[in-house]
Structure 1
Amino acid sequence: MTDALEHPHPHQHGPVGRFLRTNLPILLVVAVLVVAVVFVAQDRWRRGAFFIGGATLLAAALRLCLPTVRVGLLAVRSRPFDVGAYTLLGGSIVALAATISSLGVA
């Protein structure tokens, strides 16, 4: 009975389950950044910049919604500071991406 209380998710036993539980938020952000790098590598600067800004805004949303013990590496300072910094940076990147000329750049 105590085992069920200590481990409510039996499929997440072991080091892999713990790693994913702890680092899933940062892995989601990194996945979006990988998409951004693919766009930039294909000379799609504007789309890549939008994805970089989106990844930063995703980090802000995850930091705002998840408890500190679940956000892993997204927790740098206090929650208000992190959310504000991620939002300011992500919003600035998206705003700059919107100003990139679409002539010759997709």
Structure 2
Amino acid sequence: MTETPATLPSRSAAVGRFFRTHLPMSLVVAVLVVAIVFVAQDRWRRGAFFVGGAILLAAVLRLCVPTARVGLLAVRSRPFDIAAYAVLGGAIVTLAATISSLGVD
């Protein structure tokens, strides 16, 4: 009864498996963090570009990564997710590009 089972994964293996499983969503969140930093520095247009870019990145990742590995980016069916991400990301990037900055980035 003093033996521990050999099948228990180590903590670092569990963390590594978590990041491999959720790598697509982690990349999108990393780009969103960059966007938040820009917005916090009053660079709202650049922040908006990065938000739109993060959503477009989600569309590309949803297109390229198999459904079993896409993690939290899978909301509905693959075509719906790709279309929704592409339209939303494109709209945000277009909006950020067309609004006058009024001397502010």
TM band (smaller chain): 0.7 to 0.9
TM normalised by structure 1 equals: 0.85
Query: Are residues 1:98 and 2:89 paired?
Result: no
CA deviation profile, 1:60-88 (whole Å, cap 9, x unmatched) = 00000000011100000000000000000
Structure having the larger proportion of residues in helix: 1
Name 1:79's counterpart in structure 2. Answer: 78
Q: CA RMSD in A?
A: 1.0
- Which consecutive residues of structure 1, in runs of 5 or more, have no partner in the other structure? 1-12
Name 1:49's counterpart in structure 2. Answer: 48
Aligned length in residues? 94
Task: From the CA coordinates, give the structure whose radius of gyration is larger.
Answer: 2
Shift of 1:18: 1.2
Percent identity of paired positions between Structure 1 and Structure 2: 79
TM normalised by structure 2 equals: 0.86
SS at match of 1:59: helix
- Which consecutive residues of structure 2, in runs of 5 or more, have no partner in the other structure? 1-11
